[in-house]
Amino acid sequence: MIVILEQGISDHNLENVIKHLEDYGFIVNKSVGEERVILGAIGVQPNFDTRKIKILEGVKDVFRITEPFKLASRSYKKENTVIKIKDVEIGGKEINVIAGPCSVESEEQIFNIAQIVNKSGVKILRGGAFKPRSSPYAFQGLGEEGLKYLRKAADHFGMLVITEVLENSMIDLVYKYTDIFQIGARNMQNYSLLKELGSVKKPIMLKRGFSATVEDWLMSAEYILANGNSEVFLCERGIRTFETYTRNTFDISSIPVVHKKSHLPVFADPSHATGLRDKVLPMARAAVAAGADGIMVEVHYDPEKALSDGPQALLPDQFAEMMRQIKLIAEIIGRYIH
């Protein structure tokens, strides 16, 4: 941590700052410049609250030089995390595609969509059975019935299942049907859910919250890791900004930022990020080019009648075209899509 002191700080205040830092367990290095004094406080304390120093008399600013997250950080683990689930590897050279409808709507609907996406080589089927809707009047999902249809369709085509878990009390139920737990944007900072999923023996995909910084997001991943589950990967799904022409603003730069700061794989979800079908393909291309370890997209054969997120669902032909194009991009950057 670097502590910048006010110009002309009194000896008394300077000694007081140094004493506080030492009492908090830091080793203090003083460097005296022509204009001001700077203190280097050495000692890794990931959860140290820098405001404790910022409020002292004579302190101009305080900067952290170590990350507040540890297990999620690249400095803790240099090599990329690779998560193996049956014959699927997440975070390796292969870029995985997760596809399926926003919500499971019926046995027939999820079966048909599973067939469509499987034809293009998709190995992970998505579909929400419990939906976190912004409106309490919107379709909330089929519940366990939806989980059963999702599992059945995935098993038929030899695919894995990913589905969202909304609350602690549903973990055991969702566990029976899913291969990967999804934590949605609205739950990214549901710390009791994060902690409990830390003790579950299945991988977790953690989506970014609407207004979460990359640091907030990695701190949420840290909760799961610190509670014992090391199989975590992230998913950028867009953040809220002042822009209104898209549903969210797709923060593609978070992909290389996460890769630099963390060893965890990061996926991208251009469907929720843009909210508009015609923007999904260009953003999927961009995400792969930016280094995403996977893509998650929503697909529907009759989006007009979809019970949720129809306007952002790719039609079957558009999905096949997206797969064709992102395969080419993957090759250029030395990766591949099955």
Q: Which is nearer to ligand PEP, 261 or 272 (CB)?
A: 272
Nearest residue to the partner ligand PEP, using Cβ: 184
- Output the CA–CA distances (angstroms, integers) from residue 93 to 89, 96, 331, in the order listed: 9, 9, 10
Asked if 330 and 95 count as a contact pair (C-beta separation under 8 A), the reply is yes
- Cβ-based burial of 108 (10 A; exposed 0-12, middle 13-18, buried ≥19): exposed
Alpha-carbon distance of 319 to 325, in angstroms, equals: 10
Q: What are phi and psi of 64, to 5 degrees?
A: -85, 140
Give, as ranges, the residues between 200 and 229 that touch ligand PEP (CB under 6 A).
Answer: 207
CB of 187 to Mn ion, least distance (A): 14
Give, as ranges, the residues between 44 and 63 that touch ligand PEP (CB under 6 A).
Answer: none
Residue 14 in the binding site for ligand PEP (CB under 6 A): no
Among 116, 134, 127, 141, smallest CA distance to 307 is for 141
CB of 185 to ligand PEP, least distance (A): 4
Residue 280 in the binding site for ligand PEP (CB under 6 A): no
Residue 146 in the binding site for ligand PEP (CB under 6 A): no
- Cβ-based burial of 301 (10 A; exposed 0-12, middle 13-18, buried ≥19): middle
Residue 122 in the binding site for ligand PEP (CB under 6 A): no
Q: Which is nearer to ligand PEP, 37 or 99 (CB)?
A: 99
Q: Which of 9, 21, 90, 102 binds ligand PEP (CB under 6 A)?
A: 102
Scanning the chain, the segments in alpha helix (DSSP H) are 11-23, 51-54, 107-119, 144-157, 171-177, 191-197, 214-226, 254-261, 270-274, 277-289, 316-332
Read off the tokens for 278.
């015609």
Alpha-carbon distance of 102 to 128, in angstroms, equals: 6
Alpha-carbon distance of 234 to 176, in angstroms, equals: 22
Single out the segment in contact with Mn ion by CB under 5 A; choices: 41-49, 144-152, 277-285, 301-309: 301-309
CB of 177 to ligand PEP, least distance (A): 16
CB of 294 to ligand PEP, least distance (A): 13
Q: Which is nearer to ligand PEP, 73 or 182 (CB)?
A: 182
Give, as ranges, the residues between 305 and 324 that touch Mn ion (CB under 5 A).
Answer: 309
Residue 152 interacting entry, from ligand PEP, Mn ion, none, C-beta within 5 to 8 Å by type: none
- Output the CA–CA distances (angstroms, integers) from residue 296 to 38, 56, 124, 150, in the order listed: 47, 47, 9, 16
Residue 237 interacting entry, from Mn ion, ligand PEP, none, C-beta within 5 to 8 Å by type: ligand PEP
Q: Which residues contact 156 (CB under 8 A, 6 or more apart)?
A: 111, 114
Residue 185 in the binding site for ligand PEP (CB under 6 A): yes
Residue 117 in the binding site for ligand PEP (CB under 6 A): no
Single out the segment in contact with Mn ion by CB under 5 A; choices: 87-95, 238-246, 287-295, 303-311: 303-311
Alpha-carbon distance of 189 to 211, in angstroms, equals: 11
Residue 184 interacting entry, from ligand PEP, Mn ion, none, C-beta within 5 to 8 Å by type: ligand PEP
Residue 294 in the binding site for ligand PEP (CB under 6 A): no
Residue 141 in the binding site for ligand PEP (CB under 6 A): no
Give, as ranges, the residues between 89 and 128 that touch Mn ion (CB under 5 A).
Answer: 102
Using CB under 6 A as the binding criterion, the count of chain residues that bind ligand PEP stands at 9
Single out the segment in contact with ligand PEP by CB under 6 A; choices: 13-21, 31-39, 45-53, 180-188: 180-188
Q: Which residues contact 337 (CB under 8 A, 6 or more apart)?
A: 94, 95, 96, 97, 121, 288, 323, 326, 327, 330
Footprint of Mn ion (CB under 5 A): 102, 309
